[in-house]
Every structure is written in C-alpha cells, then in structure tokens.
C-alpha cells in the first residue's frame, strides 16, 4: 500500500453528497479516459452534470458511492436498479467502478463492490451484475474472486 492510498481501517464508503462534485469529477474524468472517452471523444459536459444530478436526486434509481480516506476520494461505484423478465426481484447493475491509480490493489475496489452488494441486499435485489472490457485483465482478476463470470457477451447499437 502506498502512503497516498487508504489504509483499509481508515476507508469509508458512503453515498455521494452534493459537495463531493469537485473531488468526484477528477475520478470521473480518469474513468472516462480509461475507457477512451476523453479529448475529441469526451462525454459532453451536460452528460456529466445530468449523471451527477441523478446521483443526488433521491427519486432517481441511479446511485453513487464513494470511497474516502482522510478527506480524499479514492474511488466510486455507480449503480442502478431495474426490473427483469427473468426474476421478480430487482436487478442491481453496477455501471461504473473506478479507483484512483494510487489506490489500486489496496482493497478499495473490493470495498466499493461489497458496499454495492450490501445496498442491493437492502433493496431486496436478486442479483448484482456488471460488464467490463475483455482486455481489463487487472479488474477481471478481482472480479473472478468476488463474482461469477456468467459467460455472456454484450452487444449494443448506438442510436
């Protein structure tokens, strides 16, 4: 663990609050850059602002948790609930997970995912699932330890 990363005993995972925006935004920018959404392919600023407003709005099904240590945000998990045709209980989709580079391999990602699991249980969801790119080998090693690879391939059509 590096000096700048959190000690697991000091780490707090909590929902975002409106005043977290300035500290969350660099993490969000890092996440988007990781997935090639920067520079000319960057998300429009209004997409970021609307996403943030949804996290803050209690009526929205979209939620955000952050990992914080000593007042510094180290990562986030964004998730949402939705209905399914294959089960009665809600599904919880973990849409975005990111940790700052210096907090990787320190347990921050595991704690964020476990916090999403806990929230999903509280909401009586039947499952938590997510996607990652097949080339994201580091994250996949973590995911293989804490979840099941169900073997599905994702297709999409942008409209």
**Residue whose C-alpha is closest to residue 29's, from 112, 92, 101:** 101
Give the CATH number of the domain where residue 142 resides: 3.40.630.30
Taking the C-alpha atoms of residue 62 and residue 34, their distance in angstroms, rounded to an integer, is 22
> How many degrees, rounded to 5, is the angle at CA 124 between CA 122 and CA 126?
130
Identify the residue whose tokens are 């929902």: 15
Residue 96 has what pLDDT?
A: 96
- Is 1 part of a structural domain of the chain? no
Q: Which residues constitute the domain of residue 117? A: 12-146
- Is 151 part of a structural domain of the chain? no
Higher pLDDT pick, 111 / 157: 111
- Is 113 part of a structural domain of the chain? yes
Higher pLDDT pick, 54 / 154: 54
User: How large is the average pLDDT for residues 53-73?
Assistant: 96
**Residue whose C-alpha is closest to residue 78's, from 90, 67, 89:** 67
């Amino acid at each position: 663990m590096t000096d700048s990363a959190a000690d697991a005993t000091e780490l707090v995972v909590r929902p975002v609050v409106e005043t977290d925006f300035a500290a969350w935004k660099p993490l969000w920018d890092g996440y988007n850059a990781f997935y090639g959404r920067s520079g000319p392919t960057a998300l429009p600023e209004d997409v970021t602002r609307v996403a943030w407003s949804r996290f803050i709005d209690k009526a929205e099904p979209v939620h955000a948790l952050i990992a914080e240590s000593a007042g510094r945000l180290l990562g986030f998990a964004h998730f949402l609930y939705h209905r399914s045709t294959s089960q009665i209980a809600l599904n919880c989709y973990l849409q975005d997970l990111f940790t700052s580079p210096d907090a990787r391999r320190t347990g921050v990602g595991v704690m964020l995912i476990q916090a999403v699991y806990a929230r999903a249980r509280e909401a009586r969801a039947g499952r938590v699932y997510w996607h990652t790119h097949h080339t994201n080998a580091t994250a996949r090693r973590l995911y293989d330890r804490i979840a099941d690879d169900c073997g599905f391939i994702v297709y999409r059509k942008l409209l």
